Structure 1
Amino acid sequence: MEFLNSHGTMYYELHGESDKTILLIHGFPLDSSMWKPQIPFLVKSGYSVLLLDLPGLGQSLYKRALSIDEMADEIADMLQTTNTTPCCVGGMSMGGYVALSLALRHPDCFNKLALIVTRAEADSEEAREGRYKLAEEVRQNGTKAAADIFIDKVLDVDSDPKLRDVVYSIMTKAPAAGVVAALEAMAQRPDRIATLPEIDALTLVMWAEKDKAMPPESARNMLTGIADASEARLPGGHLTNMEYPEEFNRALLRFLES
């Protein structure tokens, strides 16, 4: 399905027929297909699953680059237009940055928040410069420049080779312009630490034991800053939902039913 407005077209899918809907927002440089291991389980458990491709990624085509806050505003607009109030919004990594923005800018859009291998801190100056440098490489050489770096950030070298192939394929299909826009949006995102106490949604902070992209300290900062937050410690690395779907799904369901 497509949500059209003056900025472009956001692609989304709805799986299931329940009035209890969970919205899942993907990470970088991926798209909504990263959530395939969650769809059958959540639908069988009595939920509808709403997936979308962030602006410029997957099948979402936009006329210009959007900031993280503008992406959140687009999602809020889509939810309002489609008359959808999710029982939970879950955001993974970059999707978590968008979910945090959504929680702060549009708190009435949903009831529960799942922050999945993500962080509230802004980039350090070094990390910011790294994103800008990579964005320039993608401009010059295409999406493969980002995929070659991020595949080893999101998966261990000893991960299932078939899974690595699937993830790498998703990454390399991302439009180069969208990858550049996303890198710049992440580099320019604001620090959310001081505003975490403003989040009043029941929150689950999900972090992975071998995550090379998001340190445990980031999870602790969110657990400390958000008043009504609990944690789920998961096995594997950054793409824990794809590496260990059973453990991930059980932890998410416990939260949804709490």
Structure 2
Amino acid sequence: MLLTVQGVDAYCYTGGKPFDPALPTVVFIHGAQNDHSVWALQTRYFAHHGYGVLAVDLPGHGRSKGAAKTGVAELADWLLAVLDAAGVAQAALFGHSMGSLVALEASFKAPQRVSHLALIGTTYPMKVSDALLETARGDEQSAIDMVNIWSHSAVAQNAPSPVPGFSVTGGARRLMQRISRINPQQLFYTDFAACNGYANGEAAAQAVRCPTLFLFGARDMMTPPKSTKLLTAAIAHAKVVTVDSGHSLMSERPDAVLDALFSFVGVSLSGSR
């Protein structure tokens, strides 16, 4: 589905069903150098089980037009504008990695718009090493290779994919390369710099009052669970779920992520799938 947001096209995948703003809405927000497709299983399931789904392509990513935003606050403003364009008063926000910071900041800016908050593969501060930032600026393909290795656990790199005939690490690498071809303007560096520069996470977390879920990968080297204590302490009412995966939870453990998210918004999975 294409919406006009801040004067340009914004693409939202709706899970294979026409979007109905009268249904409870779930918004899925991808991370750096990704697009809506990282949520393939989760979005389709929600869309076919009573929810309106908006899996966004952030500006400059995938099918969304316009320059990539350079800061998390600007991305949060854009996300709230997507809700306006879609006619959605309130939604659950599910964000992965950089997308988790966007979801957190959007909840800070407009808490009345957020019914549930799920922060997946998150941490704060989300600092990026100087070496990786410089590699992303000068040699994006090498940065893609580096992050692709670090984002997946050894299990994912050496074991068969949950989807027959599909390589978890190979698919992730090809997606990042495709995003790079769509937008060659140092997109990875722009995304990393936005994560690195975000400074409002602690205040935003302390302001959260809605039901919140933290979903962590036990083998995550990009945002390791041990680095998340500031956020989990600030949102003390949050539920914490850990799955056996690296940073790319949605592809390594798609069913576990789906179960955690679907249970979180209050719908039983009994008799499903």
Same fold flag (TM > 0.5):
yes
CA contact (8 A) 2:46 2:53 kept: yes
1:83 CA displacement: 1.1
1:131 Cα shift?
Answer: 4.6
Q: Which residue of 2 is the match for residue 151 of structure 1?
A: 148
Which residue matches 1:223?
A: 232
Structure 1 residues 70 and 84: CA distance shift in structure 2, 3 A: same
* Corresponding residue SS for 2:206: helix
CA distance in 1, matches of 2:68, 2:31: 20
User: Matches of 2:216 and 2:68 in 1, distance apart?
Assistant: 32
Partner of 2:138: 137
Is 2:182 the partner of 1:173? no
**C-alpha deviation, 1:220, in angstroms:** 3.1
Taking a change above 3 Å as real, the CA distance of residues 245 and 132 of structure 1, as seen in their structure-2 partners, is closer
Are the equivalent residues in 2 in contact too, given 1:42–1:48 (CA < 8 A)?
yes
Identity of aligned residues (%): 24
Structure 1 partner of 2:55: 51
The offset of 1:5, in angstroms, is 4.3
1:164 maps to 2:165: no
Q: Which residue of 2 aligns with 1:120?
A: 124
Does structure 1 residue 240 correspond to structure 2 residue 240? no
Q: Measure how far apart 1:122 and its partner are.
A: 4.5
TM normalised by structure 1 equals 0.88
SS of alignment partner, residue 38 of structure 1: helix
Which whole-Å deviations, capped at 9, do the CAs of 1:49-70 have from their partners, x for residues lacking one?
2111112222222146431110
Q: Does 1:249 align with 2:258?
A: yes
Distance 1:110 1:203, change over 3 A: same
Note if 1:184 corresponds to 2:193: yes
Q: Which runs of 5+ in 2 are unaligned?
A: 162-166, 268-273
TM-superposition CA deviations, 1:6-45 (whole Å, max 9, x none) = 5643221223356022101011221110000212322333
The CA deviation string for residues 185-238 of structure 1, in whole angstroms up to 9 with x for no partner, is 222211512442111111001101111111112333222101431111111111
Give the stretch that moved more between structures: 44-53 or 164-173: 44-53
Q: Give the drift of 1:245.
A: 1.2
1:21-60 to structure 2, matched below 5 A, reads 21-60=25-64
CA displacement 1:127-163 (0-9 Å, x = unmatched):
353353123214xxxx423211111121133254712
Distance 1:151 1:105, change over 3 A: same
Is the contact made by 1:205 and 1:219 (CA closer than 8 Å) also made in structure 2?
A: no
Q: Which amino acid aligns with 1:78?
A: V
CA distance in 2, matches of 1:195, 1:82: 25
Deviates more, 1:87-96 or 1:217-226: 217-226
SS at match of 2:10: strand
Q: Mark the CA change 1:181 to 1:61 in structure 2 (over 3 Å): closer, same or farther.
A: farther
Aligned residues: 251
Q: Which runs of 4+ in 1 moved over 6 A?
A: none
The answer for the alignment partner of 1:4 in structure 2 is 4
Q: Over aligned residue pairs, what C-alpha RMSD do you find?
A: 2.1
CA distance in 2 between partners of 1:6 and 1:235 (Å)? 39
Q: TM-score, normalised by structure 2?
A: 0.84
Asked if the contact 2:35–2:58 (Cα under 8 Å) also holds between the matched residues in 1, the reply is yes
Q: 196, 199, 214: which is aligned to 1:205?
A: 214
Structure 1, unpaired ranges of 5+ = none
User: What letter matches 1:109 in structure 2?
Assistant: R
